[in-house]
Structure 1
Amino acid sequence: MERVEGHLNDGQEVQERLAIDTAINTLIVVLVYLVIKMSFDGIRQWRAKVSILVVGAGPVGLTAALVAVRSGKVLSLTILDERSRTSLLCRPQQIALDPRSVKFLLALGVDFDNIEGCWHNDHFFTKIGVFQEHVLSILEQRKQTLDIRILLGTKFTEEYIRKMSQGEWPKIIIVADGSCGESSSLLGVNSEFIVESCNAYGANAALERPDQRQVMRNIFHQSFNAYKTDIEPRMSDLTLPHLQCSRRLFEIVLSHRRVTSAFIEGDNIVVTLEGEAVRVLNFDTGCGVNLGLRGLESSEQFIYKIATAVDQSDVFEALAAKIKHSKQVVEEFKLHGLLTSVFE
């Protein structure tokens, strides 16, 4: 009996050792598999890149191009605008970049020390053309290391689409061609806008000039003299009493698209709208650019997710996050946007 019990105990010990060895070997195999998989996934994500088309070379479109470059996921980047380079760089309209926009642009490599402009209460004032020239110069420098094509004087039309071969189609199209652009319609994006009140009112200001017939509207007094044209007289405190405002106030409203991003399933292309192509104010003080830059704050992560997407579920997840952020931009602006952009 003792011998039988001894043999049974030895057999149990052998089985226990075998079970432990099997568990250890299985654990090692699983760990090795996970390490290899994570390594391959890391390499795949590191190497994953996408071709991007930006339609519109305004302040928002060019900034979107900078965001794409910083993402590190650009295979090729094409910037398209129907306006010529001269038309873009000669735009005299003024923009006022608020502190949040300044911080965002600094992170993208914008050097405000090398942009003609002026500061006031941490806001940076400059001409749209001057700002665009600076951003274009940054993109021109990046051409040395990236495939960047800047096609000015080229309109995004059905003919342009037909000329593109299947291999040239971008995976991401960023539409930033303004409130009057037609690119989103050509791509089949719903054009319905939602109009909402900002719970604020404004008035048109005008200064009659005896030597000129035109009426100058929405003048920034502190920066007007720095950016006036040579034929315009300087504005002084003596002329301010002659500044007239419209007698009737108008309600400030924000129009924003119901659809801000889309997926073209047949071609596996994602489309996202930025700037005034998706959010438009009914008055112009330059803060529309700030509103456009808000939408770009989620674009780098969006590009990364699209570039590293394994299947359509990953693409839809990225689109859902972008759409959610676009809605947040609208809600935040209705609550605080006018206060921070105009009245600081």
Structure 2
Amino acid sequence: MRCADTNKGWFNVTTRAMEEYETLAYDTALSTLVAVLVYVLLKVSVDGYRQWRARVRVLIVGSGPVGLTAALIAARSGKVQRLVLLEERCRTALLARPQQIALDPGSVRFLLGLGVDFDNMEGCWHNEHFFTKVGVFQEYLLSLLEKRKQEMDIQIHLGTKFNEEYLKKIPACDLPRVIVVCDGSCGGSSSVLGVSSDYIVESCNAYGANAAIERADQRQVPTPEIRAHSLYFDLSAYGIEFSSSTNKESSEPSALRPGSHLKIYGTFRNRYMALACPVSDSKVVKFLRHTPNSSMKEIELMYPLPQDKLGIWRCHTLCQALMRFG
């Protein structure tokens, strides 16, 4: 009887010790879990605060295709606290532009990555190129930015000119950290910011002419570009002799003669023709250049001077818009 009582006492002690051990283990695990959760919450909060502090206020001047693309890049980057888009023209004038824009396959792939749905945009495909009106392209990008307003602070001011008066109205605490100028080569925003608008001009060693025709009975439907290269013009009807490749008097082989390049593009209503002739001493080129009322002019390329140390980019190409938010 005494042995059974002893065994029962040891059993009670062992059971009590096990319960205390389980309670201690449970408390330790719970404390560890709480500590881990608190650490994770603090880290996420601190990282989120740092990311919020690291975001910048961005001002984009100009809502052409480049300016709107830059705005879409900024909106999707996650690095922008506030995005302001300025455009001097009103919405009607902006979207009524009949000029045509052609997007090459590289630009199409890039825009697809930004969420551009070409199946829901007026235009046409040809050889993996997408052709549409500038106004249609701008309207579509504006609609994408309007949708992003639900997720971030985006302000679109159409009919607002970027000048010194506009800058003076902005409080010092709300001044943008980054200004992206996309107002074209004739824009004056650089002078407002005190930045030189000088360019490096290089000749293309070619002469070019443009012509346009409007057919009111046709619709504003984009069409693929028609290109023809190495064209030779016979202007004998105008008193200018044109030496064919079989003419013995021609000292210049046919393969080496500079041929002209022709491009026809635009909508059915607004058709445009661009002609480019390489610089040469041929009679045809001279005749085209010196014909009365001729619009043949030397074609030049313009590059903005580098301004690496400034937080201001003058964007004329899609690649330059990518440099800040890519």
TM-score bucket of the superposed structures, by smaller chain: 0.5 to 0.7
Provide the residue aligned with 1:201 in structure 2. Answer: 206
What per-residue deviation string (whole Å, max 9, x for no partner) do you get for residues 303-325 of structure 1?
xxxxxxxxxxxxxxxxxxxxxxx
Q: SS where residue 320 of structure 2 aligns?
A: helix
Aligned residues: 225
Give, in angstroms, the shift of residue 123 of structure 1: 1.1
Distance 1:208 1:176 in 2: 29
- What is the Cα-based RMSD across aligned positions, in Å? 3.5
Which residues in structure 2 correspond to 1:181-192 (within 5 Å)? 181-192=187-198
Q: 1:208 to 1:135 in 2, by over 3 A?
A: closer
- Aligned residues of 1:51 and 1:171 also touching (Cα < 8 A): yes
Determine which structure has more spread, i.e. the larger CA radius of gyration. Answer: 2
Greater strand content? 2
Q: What's the TM-score once normalised by structure 2's chain length?
A: 0.61
Q: Which of 105, 114, 122 is the aligned partner of 2:120? A: 114
Detail structure 1 runs of 4+ shifted over 6 Å in the superposition. 38-41, 207-211, 222-226
What per-residue deviation string (whole Å, max 9, x for no partner) do you get for residues 174-194 of structure 1?
100111111111101112211
Which residues in structure 2 correspond to 1:1-344 (within 5 Å)? 43=48, 46-47=51-52, 48-198=54-204, 201-204=206-209, 206=211, 220-221=225-226, 227-229=267-269, 247-248=288-289, 250-263=297-310, 270-275=311-316, 292-301=317-326
Distance 1:117 1:202 in 2: 30
Q: 1:210 to 1:257 in 2, by over 3 A?
A: closer
Give, in angstroms, the shift of residue 142 of structure 1: 0.5
Q: SS where residue 298 of structure 1 aligns?
A: helix
- Aligned residues of 2:99 and 2:266 also touching (Cα < 8 A): no
Q: Which amino acid aligns with 1:259?
A: P
Gaps of at least 5 residues in structure 2 are 1-42, 217-223, 228-262, 274-284, 290-295
Q: SS where residue 131 of structure 2 aligns?
A: strand
What per-residue deviation string (whole Å, max 9, x for no partner) do you get for residues 24-79 of structure 1?
xxxxxxxxxxxxxx999955653321111000011000000001011101111000
Q: 1:142 to 1:205 in 2, by over 3 A?
A: closer
Distance 1:208 1:80 in 2: 32
Q: Which amino acid aligns with 1:137?
A: S
Distance 2:62 2:173 in 1: 22
Q: 1:46 to 1:208 in 2, by over 3 A?
A: closer
Q: SS where residue 294 of structure 1 aligns?
A: helix
Gaps of at least 5 residues in structure 1 are 1-37, 212-218, 236-244, 264-269, 276-291, 302-344
Q: 1:181 to 1:160 in 2, by over 3 A?
A: same
- Aligned residues of 2:225 and 2:265 also touching (Cα < 8 A): no
Give, in angstroms, the shift of residue 83 of structure 1: 0.2
Q: 1:91 to 1:210 in 2, by over 3 A?
A: closer
Give, in angstroms, the shift of residue 163 of structure 1: 1.1
- Aligned residues of 1:192 and 1:259 also touching (Cα < 8 A): no
Greater helix content? 1
Give, in angstroms, the shift of residue 210 of structure 1: 11
What per-residue deviation string (whole Å, max 9, x for no partner) do you get for residues 197-248 of structure 1?
34x525325478999xxxxxxx94499798233xx79x9xxxxxxxxx9824
Q: 1:97 to 1:209 in 2, by over 3 A?
A: closer
Distance 1:62 1:171 in 2: 19
Distance 1:225 1:189 in 2: 36
Q: Which amino acid aligns with 1:296?
A: A
Q: Which amino acid aligns with 1:247?
A: L
Give, in angstroms, the shift of residue 165 of structure 1: 1.0
